Amino acid sequence: MSASGGTKAIVAALGANAGIAVTKFIAYGLTGSSSMLAEGIHSVADSGNQALLLLGGKRAAREATPQHPFGYGRERYIYAFIVSIVLFSVGGLFACYEGYHKIHETLEGHPNDLLTSKWWWVPLVVLGIAIGLETYSFRTAIVESNAVRGKASWKSFVRNAKAPELPVVLLEDLAALVGLFLALLGVGLTLLTGDGIYDGIFTVAIGVLLVIVAIILALETKSLLLGESATEEHVRAIEKALVGDEVDHIIHMKTLHLGPEELMVAAKIAVRHDETAADIARGIDKAEARVRAAVPIACVIYLEPDIDRADAAAK
């Protein structure tokens, strides 16, 4: 994924969520709707998450140091993991608590502020505007994702993407849109039936939705943090590029993503037993050049020449 594409989607989401958060809190202040409060906190959490993704991208661009010789590319994974924690705690758990609190108050007979407020129509207007802004943000994320996902399905793209920003923004925007429709249902049913319990029920539903999305993000980001190999497409390209006049075949090979656009390749390659050290060195240089041409993100390459003893024994 290109950094520019991810940044464009993040900035679009940040602008949309910041504006939405303000309008939601205004609606909550006027009506006391728990759905509006939960959605306001959700938008604040999303805005903070997008700021974290931008910060992670900036810090990951730092040059390598003696203490961190492979650079800081994985900082993007760390900040994406923090995003999942924020979404789980600040967004999901708070919404669940607020919804439970509203249901408890309703069952005890407390009056619902939304039903008694003269501003009852404000949440409906705010949710309509928010749906429009989130749709724009979601569309931007889809367009940017389509530029890099190729023929992969959406599920495969989210699960296998090495750059975390676009999958995070996609899932956040999807959760935000679904959450807005849940809030609209909660507010609408409360106004139609005169029963405030619907406001609380759908607030809990918003919280459960955010918790589920946060868990998915955490699991996918954890895999990136642990270290993932290159994609099958890149592995095939590297294997094809390594084998040449100087390299009989690959004995074994391992790859590891140091960051979304940084790949390490380590391979033991079979060379002919009668080659000189100078010939082997030239062959390794040529093999490395072929790999970098085939897979440009292969920035760190370690090749160990060896004689395949199985082949030597057979001869």
Question: Exposed, middle or buried: residue 65 (CB in 10 Å: 0-12, 13-18, 19+)?
Answer: exposed
Mean pLDDT, the chain, integer? 86
Return the top range by mean pLDDT from 87-101, 135-149, 287-301. 287-301
**Residue 192, pLDDT above cutoff 70:** yes
Strand-strand pairing, 249-259 and 298-306: unpaired
- Residue 295: which pLDDT band, with cuts at 50, 70 and 90? very high
**Residue 313, pLDDT above cutoff 70:** no
**Residue 189, pLDDT above cutoff 50:** yes
Q: What is the pLDDT of residue 308?
A: 66
- Give tens-digit pLDDT for 208-219: 998 998 898 888
* Percent above pLDDT 70 for the chain: 96
- Give tens-digit pLDDT for 226-270: 889 998 999 999 999 998 777 888 999 999 999 888 999 999 999
- How many Å separate Cα 96 from the centre of its chain? 23
Q: How far apart are CA 103 and CA 56, in angstroms?
A: 39
The answer to whether 239 touches 270, Cβ cutoff 8 Å, is no
Rounded to 5, what percent of the chain is helix, strand, coil?
Answer: 70, 10, 20
Q: How far apart are CA 54 and CA 79, in angstroms?
A: 9
**Residue 288, pLDDT above cutoff 60:** yes
Mean pLDDT of the region 287-312? 86
AA identity, residue 226: L
The pTM (predicted TM-score) of the whole model is 0.79
